[in-house]
Amino acid sequence: MTSHPVALITGGSRGLGLALARALAERGWRVVVDGRDAARLAAAAAATPSLLPVAGDVTDPDHRRALADAAADLGRLDLFVANASELGPSPLPRLADAPLDAVRAVYETNVIAPLALLQLLLPPLRASGGTVLTISSDAAVEAYAGWGVYGPSKAALDHLTAVLATEEPSVRAYALDPGDMRTEMHQRAFPGEDISDRPPPEQVVPAILRLLDLRLDGGRHRAADLATAAAQETAGTAR
């Protein structure tokens, strides 16, 4: 059993999941991470030895059990981050043209899988007074043409997180909108476009750490608001 805090982050082989996993590892956490690309996941873990890679797809029940078992082997669980996401078809289709099999796949990854993992992970999270962090999107609350497959799945995940906060008073539950980021998934949403003006996911991590450190009230938060509050505090201290 480890004395270090333990996190489980899905979609941890790249993007925001990997950036957050590395930041937590630098703080002394042990972090269970998963990803569908086993070679990529292994390379990420090799660069950060305190990451424990478990390759697989979150829509697979056996893989979800393997993730829960990996956390159990570490003796505790303090944080579950539901970060793995499926965008759906690219280019983004209008609702009239959205293939229903692709819609089902998006909901399986973005809604069903996080709930199924929660059901496995709630006992250790309750025991630690831990935190659940689901990664949302502005498309969950704004109606953008072409985002009618992905956005509603994130809206469902937001509401699932809000209900969890009501039902589980010993567990803090946050939905976080990280804002636009320079990631592979965001590039797929804008094929052929230059997204170099978007910030890398590493720039979002301080906002997440602030959310976790301050143990703010559960609910939906925006990384941009957390960053603004931090900047204002810094400016006030400097006066």
- pLDDT single digits (tens) 181-218: 998 888 888 888 898 999 899 999 999 999 999 988 88
- Given a cut of 60, whether residue 231 has pLDDT beyond it is yes
Catalytic residue selected from 107, 144, 150, 174: 150
- Given a cut of 90, whether residue 146 has pLDDT beyond it is yes
- When pLDDT is cut at 50, 70 and 90, the band that residue 239 belongs to is low
What are the residues facing 55 on neighbouring strands? Answer: 35
The Cα–Cα gap between 155 and 138 comes to 9
CATH 3.40.50.720 matches 6-238: yes
Domain assignments of the chain as residue spans, ordered by start: 6-238
Instruction: Determine how many CB atoms are found less than 10 A away from the CB of residue 128.
Output: 15
Q: For the chain, what percent of residues have pLDDT higher than 70?
A: 97
Q: What is the mean pLDDT of the chain?
A: 94
What SS3 state is found at 131? strand
The whole-number pLDDT of residue 185 equals 86
Q: What is the mean pLDDT of residues 124-140?
A: 97
Sheet holding 172-177, edge to edge: 51-55, 30-35, 6-9, 79-82, 131-135, 172-177, 219-222
Q: Is 107 a catalytic residue?
A: no
Alpha-helix runs per DSSP H in the chain: 15-26, 38-47, 61-73, 100-107, 113-128, 150-167, 184-189, 205-214, 223-238
- When pLDDT is cut at 50, 70 and 90, the band that residue 238 belongs to is low
Tens digit of each residue's pLDDT (9 = 90 or more) over 57-88: 999 999 999 999 999 999 999 999 999 999 99
The whole-number pLDDT of residue 217 equals 86
